[in-house]
Amino acid sequence: MESIVNVLEMVGVLVGGVIARLALLALGAAVLALPIALIVEAVKAGVRLRRRRLGLTPVDGLVWTPRVCYAPGHTWVRRAGRKTLRVGLDDLAQRVLSFADRIELPKVGARVREGEAAMIVTCGGRRGEIRAPVDGIVTAVNKAVERDPSLIHRDPYARGWLYAVSPINGGRGRLLRGDEALAWLTGDRRRFAHFVEGAVGIAAADGGDLVAPPPSLLTDEQWSMMTRTFLLTG
């Protein structure tokens, strides 16, 4: 009888030790997870703050902001200094150029002319020319998007900017802003959805978001038609 009691005591000690170790492991995991959770929340808070600062608003499956001007080829322009304008792609353009894997920016010092090709975005071997929204001299380029083209998709209105230009002759071009820009953008959004459905037979609107087809699903003719229609390529 005494031996049975001793065995039970040993088992109890072993079980208690295992439980204690598991508790310590759980506590350690919780302690390690806390900084990670704080970092994640800090990143989310930073994203929310940047979105508020930029005035980013979801509209009809797209994100837009009234704090920039828009050009007909779906680039945006924002003042970045007394004599400097910053240029980027709007949310529709970055969807047209889905799966971008290479970006060729203009050279600093180059002259760009409104409506003429200033740079190239390559998507799975397909090239899309980006027209300059204004006349001017390139004063800076965003090397980050050359290294990581996905920035034009993940953050098109901020970190995904393309180049800066010093405008010539006022350099305001045919730019839209405010309600006029919003009406134009949502109109082109509907045209793009119709194009995608007709070209590849899928609904472009998925749960309210605007879904663009991978370039591999488009024929050369369809790609050319899409970029001519929405990016105003030649």
- pLDDT at residue 16 in the model: 62
- CATH number for the domain spanning 131: value is 2.40.50.100
Residue 104 lies in a domain: yes
Residue 10, domain member (yes or no): no
pLDDT of residue 206: 53
Taking only the tens place, the pLDDT of each residue in 198-220 is: 887 766 655 557 778 889 999 99
Average pLDDT over residues 125-138: 97
In a domain, 37, yes or no: no
Q: What mean pLDDT is reported for the chain?
A: 85
Residue with tokens 């050319």: 224
Q: What is the pLDDT of residue 34?
A: 61
Position 127 in a domain: yes
Q: Specify the pairing of strand 102-104 against strand 75-81.
A: unpaired
Indicate the range of 2-6, 119-123, 142-146 predicted with least confidence.
2-6
Asked, for residue 49, whether it belongs to a domain, the answer is no
Query: Could you tell me the pLDDT band of residue 74, with boundaries at 50, 70 and 90?
Result: very high
Question: Per the structure, how many domains does the chain have?
Answer: 1
Whether residue 54 is contained in a domain is answered as: no
pLDDT at position 21 is: 79
Q: For position 210, what pLDDT does the model report?
A: 78
Residue 17 located in a structural domain: no
Rounded CA separation 11/147 (Å): 60
pLDDT at 72 over 60: yes
pLDDT at 43 over 50: no
> Does the structure show a pLDDT above 70 at 166?
yes
Q: Please give the backbone phi and psi of residue 50, each rounded to the nearest 5 degrees, phi first.
A: -65, -40
Q: Tell me whether residue 67 is in a domain.
A: yes
Write out the residue range of the structural domain in which residue 73 sits. Answer: 62-231
25-34 per-position pLDDT tens digit: 776 666 666 6
Residue 53, amino acid: R
pTM of the model: 0.77
